[in-house]
Amino acid sequence: MAWFFLKLKMLSLKNVCVCVNDERIVKDVSIDVKENELHVLMGPNGSGKSTLIYGIMGHPLFKVEGKIELDGKSIVGLKPNEIVESGLTAIFQYTPDLEGVRLRNFLWNIAKNKVKDSAEFSKLLDEYLQLLKLDRGILNRDFSGFSGGEKKKLELLQVLLINPRYLLIDEIDSGVDVDNLKIIASVVSYLKKTRGIILVTHYTRILDYLDVDYVHVYKKGQIIKSGDFSLAKVIEDKGYDSV
C-alpha cells in the first residue's frame, strides 16, 4: 500500500531564542501557527514581545537561535525581503514617516509585481480602502503626518497588497480610538480567513472583536502559559502576576 504524507502548512517556531548585543532576550519560544488560526501573545512591557517579532523577520541586529520554518522551509538566516517573499510579513508598533513620498506611489511600488496592470491595482485599492473606511483622497497625501489610527490602517493596507500567507502584528491597537479599533479588528478578521496570524498586545479590548484561537502569556522572554480566550479575561481581571 502506498502512503502519502502531506506536509502541514504552518509557521513553526521551535525553541527560538533571540539575542541582542549578546544578551538573550527571547528564551526558548515554541509556537505552531496554522492557516486560519489567530494566536495572541500577551505580556507586560519589556517582556521581549517585539524582540521576538524582529528576530522572526530577520532584523540584522537580532541574532536568532532555534528553528523558524514556513510551510516546512527554514527562514532563519534569510534577509527581511526574502522572508517577505517567502510568505511572511509583519506590522510593527512604530512606523516611520516618509516625507515627500506620495502614498499612491509608495503603494504602487509594493504591489506592482503582484498585479497585472495599473487598472487591477486601482481596483484593489478601491476595494481595500472601502474595507478600511479610508477616503480615496488619502492616496494623494505624502506618507507623513498621518494620525495614529490612519497609520495603523495604512499598515493593514500594505499587508492586503503584499498578500502574505502568515502575518505578525505588533500592538496594532495602541493609541487607537474605539471606532478605528473596530475597523482594524474587522480587517484582521478578514485576513484571518486565509492566513495564520500572531497578534501581540497588552490589552484585551481588541480581542473582544476577534475570533481568537489561542492566547499565550509571555513574560521575560518566555511563554509561561497557553490557553483559549478565557485566559485573556483572567489577565484583564487579575493582571499578569496571577498567571
Angle 205-51-223 from CA coordinates, rounded to 5° = 65
pLDDT at 95 over 90: no
pLDDT grade for 196, boundaries at 50, 70 and 90: very high
Asked, for residue 146, whether it belongs to a domain, the answer is: yes
Does residue 95 contact residue 174 with C-beta atoms inside 8 Å?
no
Do the domain assignments include residue 78? yes
| pLDDT one-digit tens code per residue, 67-76 | 999 999 999 9
Residue 114 lies in a domain: yes
Q: Write down the pLDDT at residue 99.
A: 78
Calpha distance 170→220 (Å, rounded): 17
The CA–CA distances, whole Å, from 102 to 81, 96, 98, 153 equal 22, 14, 9, 16
- Is 2 a domain residue? no
Q: Which residues contact 50 (CB under 8 A, 6 or more apart)?
A: 92, 93, 170, 171, 200
State the average pLDDT over residues 174-189. Answer: 93
pLDDT of residue 175: 83
Instruction: Let me know if residue 5 belongs to a domain.
Output: no
In terms of Cβ atoms closer than 10 Å to its own Cβ (0-12, 13-18, 19+), residue 137 is exposed
Report the domain count for the chain.
Answer: 1
User: Could you tell me if residue 115 is inside a domain?
Assistant: yes
| pLDDT in the model for residue 107 | 94
**In this predicted model, what pLDDT tens digit does every residue of 134-147 receive, in sequence order?**
999 999 998 777 88
Whether the model pTM is above 0.85: yes
pLDDT at 7: 58
pLDDT tier, 94 (very low <50, low <70, confident <90, very high otherwise) = confident
Higher pLDDT, 169 or 240: 169
Query: Per the domain annotation, does 168 fall within a domain?
Result: yes
Residue 68, pLDDT score? 98
**Is residue 28 within 8 Å of 74, Cβ to Cβ?**
no
Segment 115-128, tens digit of pLDDT: 889 999 999 999 99
Determine the structural domain holding residue 184 and report its residue range: 10-242
Cβ proximity of 222 and 37 under 8 Å: no
pLDDT band at 203 (very low <50, low <70, confident <90, very high): confident
Residue 1 lies in a domain: no
Query: Using 50, 70 and 90 to split pLDDT, how confident is the model at 28?
Result: very high
CATH classification at residue 237: 3.40.50.300
